[in-house]
Each structure stands twice: as structure tokens, then as C-alpha cells.
Amino acid sequence: MSTYSGKSNHSLDIFLIGVGGQGLLTIGEVVAEAATALNIPVSFYPYKGMAQRGGLVRAQLRLGRETVGPNIPPQGADLVIAMEVSEALRAIRALRPGGEFLLFGERWLPTAVMLGKAAYPTLEVVLEQIRAAGGTPIYLSPDLLPARMPANLFVLGAAVGHTCLGDIIPAGAVEEAIRHRWPRNPGPNLAAFQAGFLEKPQRYEDPRIFV
């Protein structure tokens, strides 16, 4: 049974960003399905760049509002989920002060970087900019991802377990959505989600870590 009451404190705006091939949009689709099953109003707006693999992918997910436009206002996202380090920089402007920024530290090097024509941002620079925008960085290292598990469901598990998303969408609802989406063999995706849920990403709430 849903706990949604229509009150404003049950609304949540989520900005997702990554690159093609990471399964980023699947995160939004699974959350949207879980929200629908809980009778929580949900709007999901995906966007894909020109390149199918390696190109920019982003989406906006708006939970808990009966009527809402497709665009989260600048500095309006309660939560950003970024699955690639350099693309995370694009999303900082979307985060509201006091919001949470879950960063999965995978690196997909653009052609210009591989050719030595551009520099790739360091993780420290990205985390510093999130803090400077008033956000709380939550870092999930790719090294924590168990072998042969899908990264997107692992990241989703961490988001439900360690960000404000879990205050609205419980783990059980996401697990049911995973079973519904992959009815023949939900096991690998459930295992990845549960591994992320139980993982302990680094939460940087103290600005002194950057001094």
C-alpha cells in the first residue's frame, strides 16, 4: 500500500545523467514503474544524444505531483544521479542547494581526451564543484561493483539505500518492478540492486574534506 498522501513533502525531482550504453534510462523506467505501483504520480522525461553508445543521455524524473511540467527548474533537483564522472559536471547546475548528488565514478573518455586535445576532469574537481553548489556528494566507486553485475541496477540500489529516493520509494517496490520488467530471469538484476542497496558509498557532508 502506498504511503503517498499528496503532500508536498512527498514530491521529489530527480535528474539523471550519463552516457549511452550504461542503461541510465532503465533506472528511470524502473523507478517510474515502482512509483506507479504505489499510486505515486510520476512523470518521466528521457533525452538521448545523437550517439547511441557513448553519447550524452539524460532524463528528468518527477515524483509526487499530479500536474507538472517536463523540466526541473535550474537548481531545482532534489537528487542527481550521475553515472559518468565528466558528464556529472553538466548536472551540477540542476541540483538545488541542500540536494544530494550520487556519483558513480565510471569514466568514458571522449575522443578529444583520447587524442590528447582535452583534459579529463579529476574526481576531486567534480566533488568540489558539487559542494560549492551547496550539494552533498555521495560517491560510489566502480570498484565496488561485483563482477558481471549490471552497473545501472547497482547504482539504483545505492540510490534507494542511501539517498532521499528511498524515503519515497521503498526497496521492496523497486524489487517488484524489477521482477515485473524481467519476468523470465530477474535474478541478476535483483542481485545487482540488492548489492547496491547494501553497499556503503562515501558521503561527503563535511566541507573540510576538500581543504
Nearest to 169 by CA among 32, 44, 60: 32
Alpha helices in the chain (DSSP H): 24-37, 85-91, 111-114, 123-132, 151-162, 165-168, 171-181, 187-198
pLDDT tens-digit map of 157-182: 999 999 999 999 999 999 999 999 99
Across 53-89, b (16+ Cβ under 10 Å) vs e yields: ebebbbbbbbbbbeebeeebeeeebbbbbbbbbbbbb
CATH 3.40.50.2300 fits 8-204, yes or no: no
What rounded mean pLDDT belongs to the chain? 89
Question: pLDDT truncated to tens, each residue of the chain (211 aa)?
Answer: 334 333 345 799 999 999 988 999 999 999 999 999 999 999 999 986 654 566 889 999 999 988 778 789 999 999 999 999 999 999 999 999 999 999 999 998 877 777 787 888 999 999 999 999 999 999 999 999 999 999 999 999 999 999 999 999 999 999 999 999 999 999 999 999 999 999 999 998 754 444 3
Neighbouring residues of 106: CB distance < 8 A, sequence distance ≥ 6: 22, 83, 84, 85, 142, 151
**DSSP character at residue 169:** S
Q: Percentage of the chain surpassing pLDDT 70?
A: 90
Cα-Cα-Cα-Cα torsion 4, 74, 101, 91, nearest 10 degrees, comes to 130
Cα 101 to Cα 78: distance, rounded to the nearest angstrom: 9
Q: What is the pLDDT of residue 47?
A: 85
Task: Please state the pTM of the whole predicted model.
Answer: 0.89
